[in-house]
Amino acid sequence: MAAGASDLTVHALRLGPGQELLSSLVAFTEERKLRAPFIMTCVGSVTEAKLRLADATAENSRLVHLQGKFEIVSLVGTLNREAHLHICLADKEGRTFGGHVMGDLKVFTTAEVVVGEASDLKFAREMDDRTGFPELVINSRSEHA
């Protein structure tokens, strides 16, 4: 389901060593009452990550917990209360690991994040019986003011 075009507002934040990236982003969007936020870009590093791998189903969520020093080479997704983020991390050898962010993204040196908000839209999540997961629902703000 698609929604119409929207104006864009841009926000930026920088997280420091030891902060947890996912919970910090959710808190940031809630404090600012953002209704259709998404990640535009992120540069930084982490020492931990808990990821759900691609073969997961609602009945079988295979998780991996990474520990070490990793560069964030990509972070994408939507940031409503039930954030849906995917990340790609590179280790000291340049090997990459990626998946659905479950948490435990502990910042190593920094995480510089630019968050966009579709000013005319509202994101929500509803359970989708076909996938077994809460999936994105896009509404115009005028429909759900």
Instruction: Domains for the chain: give ranges and CATH numbers.
Output: 8-120 (3.30.1330.80)
Q: How much is the pLDDT for 61?
A: 75
Q: What are 51-93's pLDDT values in tens digits? A: 998 886 666 778 999 999 999 999 999 998 789 999 999 999 9
Beta-bridged to residue 76, according to DSSP, are 86
Q: Would you say residue 34 has pLDDT above 90?
A: yes
User: Phi and psi at residue 97, in whole multiples of 5°?
Assistant: -135, 140
Question: Taking the chain, what is the end-to-end CA distance rounded to the nearest angstrom?
Answer: 19
Mean pLDDT for the stretch of residues 2-6: 71
DSSP state of 130: T
Residues of the chain with pLDDT > 70, as a percent, come to: 92
Single-letter residue type at 100? H
How much is the pLDDT for 14? Answer: 98
pTM confidence score? 0.86
- CA separation for the pair 7, 47 (Å, rounded): 36
User: Coil, strand or helix: which one is 6?
Assistant: coil
